[in-house]
């Protein structure tokens, strides 16, 4: 049996067949296919529990709701997954929806709505022309062409053998036919041969998905365990893996809160709620619903029954009902940490990760540890550590030569903390390396403004001016930096002189 190497570089890093595709016309030429397909291509970056990049590769959108197809080996045992979308420069978290290790495919969900590639599950023909797009060695959206040279069976997994070159970092990219449709996912190559590369047919996705967020648990596929926990009013915490079929459209319930209540009704409501707390502790969800119904009817402004009833609804999979209870609770107290945490669960369950993280963040800032933990489970960091985390990641990517990612992560760090000197320094360097010279100069100048003692900032300003051809101005900045003891600036200065 041949020896294969997986393409996952260590340096870095609906399934709707008939929805509106990126490409509509047939028999497109290579240039047209690339132009129509490139905005569907993304970086997929996996990090470990320490927040370090463990692997990276390529992925591509397969519907307009943010579903992304990639290889399973691109995200092995990832603690957090990020998607870098070059089209808008955004880096956002993603969740694993389903995966099949044997077939080496994985389905991710992110908050980005983007152009996507339609899938073609018809028979692949030996000799047909194909195009592969990926991020080899971090070189984003690189195209290669070739033909289908053979169809193979590798231990029961069908594979498409192709002549198009693919390299480390291209794993998970689309294999596109002459109609501009994805027929495979590029995955591996022989270590001791050239032009012997392979792709997995996209038809394997049908084993991952059966309706929205419902999965077939067979052939070693794993149902995603979304790292989310719901919060009660303090009685118990229950891990949650709910159905995500509910539509989110929080409606107004102001009339409910206008009801006048007597002291006697409020007293009765609290007595009924004591029964609710006991039922929550025993996870008797029908009793939670019954007793909290009585309590909330007696005293509509009493927030606790809505919170615990939402726990029962989420636990039973009635996400729309949970959403409605939490909408009322939010009107009573929009800063309540339990309410915001549980709304985060509802939104994450429906795949709205941006909204979910906002609710978790509000919960966390309410000194609620559960909200902090759920925020970190999606994003990979705690809210208070966001700027530091993104700064660290941007530095890692810059050192690895991934200037697109370095720029994106530095921008996120700066957006969180506008006085982040290191963020401006890294972004200035990344921008200059990409020949975005005005941006590089501006960021270096801002870093100097924030910290006049930063020798690196003066050097970066000199570097931007140097590349712009302003040698005298560059020489001055290098001279200042060199005088502060920065050896790289001294070297740059000697090159000018």
Q: Helix or strand or coil: residue 28?
A: coil
The values of phi and psi at residue 2, to 5°, are -65, 155
Q: Which residues contact 333 (CB under 8 A, 6 or more apart)?
A: 303, 339
Contact 305, 276 (CB under 8 A): yes
CA dist 202 and 124 (Å) reads 11
CB 62 within 8 A of CB 34: no
Q: What letter would DSSP give residue 117?
A: P
Place of tokens 């903390």: 417
Contact partners, residue 437, CB within 8 Å, separation at least 6: 431, 464, 467, 468
Q: Which residue has tokens 């001016």?
A: 465
Handedness of CA 124, 127, 129, 133 (dihedral sign): positive
Compute, in degrees rounded to 10, the torsion defined by CA atoms 322, 326, 327, 331.
160
**φ, ψ dihedrals at 17, nearest 5°:** -70, -20
Q: Give the SS3 label for residue 434.
A: coil
Residues of the chain with pLDDT under 70: 1-28, 137-138, 189-195, 207-261
Cα(303)–Cα(273) distance, integer angstroms: 11
Looking at residue 248, its pLDDT comes to: 38
Rounded to two decimals, what is the model's pTM? 0.55
Helices (H), 350-454: 353-365, 369-379, 386-399, 403-416, 421-433, 437-450
As given in the structure block, the two tokens for residue 278 are 């006991």
Contact by Cβ (8 Å): 114, 39: yes
d(CA 379, CA 35): 31
Residue 222 CA to residue 345 CA, distance in Å, equals 21
Helix (H, G, I), strand (E, B) or coil at 54: strand
Copy the structure tokens of residue 423. Answer: 């963020």
Asked if 429 and 463 touch (Cβ cutoff 8 Å), the reply is: yes
Query: Distance between CA 37 and CA 23 in Å, rounded?
Result: 7
Q: How far apart are CA 4 and CA 189, in angstroms?
A: 6
């Amino acid at each position: 049996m041949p020896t294969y190497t997986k393409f996952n570089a260590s340096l870095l890093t609906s399934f709707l067949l008939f929805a509106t595709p990126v490409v509509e016309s047939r028999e497109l030429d290579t240039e047209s296919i690339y132009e129509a397909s490139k905005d569907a291509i993304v970086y997929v970056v996996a990090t470990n529990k320490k927040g370090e990049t463990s692997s990276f590769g390529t992925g591509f959108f397969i519907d307009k709701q943010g579903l992304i197809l990639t290889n399973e080996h691109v995200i092995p045992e990832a603690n957090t997954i990020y998607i870098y979308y070059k089209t808008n420069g955004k880096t956002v978290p993603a969740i694993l929806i389903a995966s099949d290790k044997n077939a080496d495919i994985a389905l991710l969900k992110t908050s980005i709505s983007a152009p996507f590639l339609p899938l073609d599950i018809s028979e692949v023909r030996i000799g047909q022309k194909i195009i592969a797009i990926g991020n080899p060695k971090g070189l984003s959206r690189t195209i290669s062409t070739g033909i289908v040279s053979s169809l193979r069976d590798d231990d029961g997994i069908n594979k498409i053998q192709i002549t198009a070159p693919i390299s480390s970092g291209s794993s998970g990219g689309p294999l596109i036919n002459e109609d501009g449709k994805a027929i495979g996912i590029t995955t591996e190559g022989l270590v001791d041969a050239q032009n012997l590369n392979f792709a997995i047919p996209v038809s394997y996705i049908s084993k991952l998905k059966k309706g929205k967020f419902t999965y077939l648990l067979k052939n070693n596929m794993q149902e995603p365990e979304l790292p989310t926990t719901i919060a009660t009013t303090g009685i118990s915490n229950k891990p949650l893996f709910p159905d995500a079929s509910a539509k989110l459209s929080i409606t107004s319930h102001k009339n409910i809160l206008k009801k006048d209540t007597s002291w006697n009704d409020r007293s009765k409501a609290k007595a009924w709620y004591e029964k609710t707390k006991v039922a929550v502790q025993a996870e008797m969800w029908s009793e939670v619903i019954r007793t909290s119904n009585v309590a909330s009817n007696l005293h509509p402004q009493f927030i606790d029954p809505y919170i615990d009833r939402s726990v029962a609804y989420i636990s039973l999979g009635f996400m729309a009902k949970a959403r409605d209870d939490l909408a009322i609770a939010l009107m009573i107290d929009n800063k309540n940490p339990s309410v915001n945490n549980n709304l985060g669960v509802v939104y994450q369950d429906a795949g709205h990760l941006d909204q979910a993280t906002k609710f978790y963040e509000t919960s966390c800032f309410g000194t609620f540890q559960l909200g902090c933990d759920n925020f970190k489970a999606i994003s990979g960091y705690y809210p208070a550590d966001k700027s530091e985390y993104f700064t660290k990641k941007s530095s890692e990517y810059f050192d690895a030569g991934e200037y697109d990612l370095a720029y994106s992560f530095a921008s996120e760090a700066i957006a969180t903390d506008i006085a982040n000197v290191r963020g401006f320094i890294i972004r200035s360097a990344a921008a200059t390396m990409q020949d975005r010279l005005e941006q590089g100069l501006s960021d270096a100048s801002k870093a100097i403004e924030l910290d006049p003692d930063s020798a690196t900032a003066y050097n970066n300003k000199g570097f931007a001016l140097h590349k712009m051809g302003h040698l005298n101005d560059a020489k001055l900045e290098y001279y200042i930096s060199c005088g502060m003891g920065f050896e790289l600036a001294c070297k740059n200065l000697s090159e000018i002189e």
